[in-house]
Amino acid sequence: MKTLTTDLARRLQGSPYQGYAYAYPHKSAYRALEGRPLEEVWAAEARDALFLYIHVPFCEFRCGFCNLFTQHNPHGSLIEAYLETLTRETAQVQAALRAGGEPRFARFAIGGGTPTQLDLAGLTRLFDLAEQLGASPLEVPVSIEMSPDTIDPEKLALLRERGVDRASMGVQSFLEDESRAAGRPQKTAQVEQAIEWIQAAGFPIMNLDLIYGLPSQTSETWETSLARLIDYAPAEVFLYPLYVRPLTGLGRRDGCDEAPDDPRLNLYRQGRDRLLGAGYEQISMRLFRRPEAGLAEAPAYRCQEDGMVGLGCGARSYTKSLHYSGEYAVGARGVREILSRWVSQTDEELSRVAFGFELDAVEQRRRYAIQSLLHSDGLSYSGYRDRFGSDVLSDLPALSELGPRGLAVEQEAGLHLTPEGIERSDVLGPWLFSTQVLELMEAGVGIFPQVPDAQCRRGW
């Protein structure tokens, strides 16, 4: 316990931005596995509330802060080869899932990259594949990522027709100079036109993202972006702190060291207070939602409990005891090489899992606790006990350090972060990582830089 106390005290004295715990374990902890058949991997898994995620690793250009798995401005031949391999992969996954019973899906999301980089025919193929697998877009909530430069009324009409409920767009800043400095050349007029098109298309939920801590950003310019966003009244808002990572445009240009007078915490508080004052509820450190926003009669889904089926190069899949994916890279050459290998796989290779992380009982408990604690619902003592048959404070005694420091309170038979705890989410998440995962992440930094992705970060 003394060691844990010292570690938390040391972490709290450092930057509030030490790592985004959007998922656990982090992908940089994944390693090569002996090839396991998909049918074997999913044999003992519940199939009644799955999340289907399709990854599209293409963008028109790569933003200076982006370290996602994506290739900018791809040739049409690569896109076609990708869709063909995605079709073959879907067939392999379908066979594996149905070997143990008919799967039922509770959520479907398309991320990237920028899925709307695809043309109408390419987007249509994605929805056809989802239906083939059993995730009917007209029967489950569907989310898709998009950008201002890749949408038009015709694409948006197709997305609504195919059942998309949630249109999510990264604005990042409403100021052109700020966007340009961040390596994201975009015109504010184009952003505003895209938002108006999304609103006119009638999506039940529009989500807009902003980033704080951008180069040259000030409290005044941040307020400008916040005010414009609030005027549009999106149902959901994500406020992301800027992380400058190796191999990104900003990382190569400016290095990855933090500024001595890091403004991000003050900008976060400014953004949080503005959104709360405008009637939004805070769901996590990053997610804010209007109380009336929601998906009526949506099937129940909790990402810390239910499985995820990932399709496409760069997608991750989650079972209770195994998280797996393909290879990963950030640099343009590495991405090209991995995509080239992926589209050349045989059906046999697509039917096997060769890269991931096996979660024992201890890691499963830790994952549940971390992902529950960082959400507004909090960590339910009874929910944990029902799932694992043990007491979370006994399994993770480090959690007892949060209350005395004002970072969490016990209420409704569970542990909930205070506002002070929520703003330190990027400290508390990594603090709760196991020694095994931290060591693997540190050793894997040269292989997989720490990156956020679209999966399980959207409040679903």
Q: Are 164 and 143 in contact (CB under 8 A)?
A: yes
Q: Does 416 lie in the same domain as 388?
A: yes
Q: How confident is the model at residue 222 (pLDDT cuts 50, 70, 90)?
A: very high
Q: How confident is the model at residue 68 (pLDDT cuts 50, 70, 90)?
A: low
Q: Does 11 lie in the same domain as 58?
A: no
Is residue 133 a part of any domain in this protein? Answer: yes
Q: Over the stretch 248-278, which tens digit does the pLDDT of each residue have?
A: 444 444 444 455 579 999 999 999 999 999 9
Res 49: pLDDT: 92
Q: Over the stretch 175-199, which tens digit does the pLDDT of each residue have?
A: 999 988 877 888 999 999 999 999 9
Is residue 460 a part of any domain in this protein? Answer: no
Count the alpha carbons within 13 Å of 264 in the hemisphere toward its beta carbon: 25
Domain end among 289, 321, 338: 289
Domain end among 289, 320, 346: 289
Q: How confident is the model at residue 2 (pLDDT cuts 50, 70, 90)?
A: very low
Residue 225 has pLDDT above 50, yes or no: yes
- As given in the structure block, the two tokens for residue 389 are 């048959």
Is residue 356 a part of any domain in this protein? Answer: no
Is residue 66 a part of any domain in this protein? Answer: yes
Q: Which residue has the higher pLDDT, 185 or 423?
A: 423
User: Locate tokens 């400095």: which residue?
Assistant: 181
Q: Over the stretch 87-102, which tens digit does the pLDDT of each residue have?
A: 999 999 999 999 988 8
Q: Over the stretch 303-359, which tens digit does the pLDDT of each residue have?
A: 778 899 999 998 999 999 999 998 766 667 778 888 889 999 999 999 999 999 999
Is residue 408 a part of any domain in this protein? Answer: yes
Contacts 24+ apart (CB under 8 A), 91-95: 91/347, 92/38, 92/347, 92/350, 92/351, 93/38, 93/133, 93/309, 93/311, 94/132, 94/133, 94/134, 95/38, 95/39, 95/351
Q: How confident is the model at residue 450 (pLDDT cuts 50, 70, 90)?
A: very low
Res 453: pLDDT: 37
Tell me which amino acid residue 227 is: A
Q: Does 367 lie in the same domain as 262?
A: no
Res 253: pLDDT: 45
Is residue 457 a part of any domain in this protein? Answer: no
CATH number, domain containing residue 7:
1.10.10.920
- 386-415 burial, b at 16+ Cβ within 10 Å, e below that, comes to eeeeeebbebbebbebbeeeebbeeeeebb
Q: Does 96 lie in the same domain as 17?
A: no
Q: Does 269 lie in the same domain as 394?
A: no
Owning domain of residue 107: 30-289
d(CA 52, CA 2): 42
Provide the angle, in degrees to the nearest 10, between the axes of the packed helices 120-133 and 153-161: 10
Q: Does 7 lie in the same domain as 105?
A: no
Q: Does 365 lie in the same domain as 226?
A: no
Q: How confident is the model at residue 457 (pLDDT cuts 50, 70, 90)?
A: very low
- As given in the structure block, the two tokens for residue 275 are 């959104």
Domain count along the chain: 2
Is residue 322 a part of any domain in this protein? Answer: no
Strand partners, 16: none
Mean residue pLDDT across the chain: 88
Q: Does 284 lie in the same domain as 160?
A: yes
Domain end among 247, 262, 289: 289
Q: Over the stretch 20-61, which tens digit does the pLDDT of each residue have?
A: 888 899 888 999 998 899 999 999 998 899 999 999 998 775
Q: Does 384 lie in the same domain as 283?
A: no
Q: Does 268 lie in the same domain as 391?
A: no
- Which run of H or of E encompasses 36? strand 31-37
Res 259: pLDDT: 52
CATH number, domain containing residue 69:
3.80.30.20
In degrees and rounded to multiples of 5, residue 134 shows phi and psi of 115, 5
Q: Does 223 lie in the same domain as 137?
A: yes
Is residue 106 a part of any domain in this protein? Answer: yes
Q: Does 189 lie in the same domain as 161?
A: yes
- Averaged over 429-450, what is the pLDDT? 79
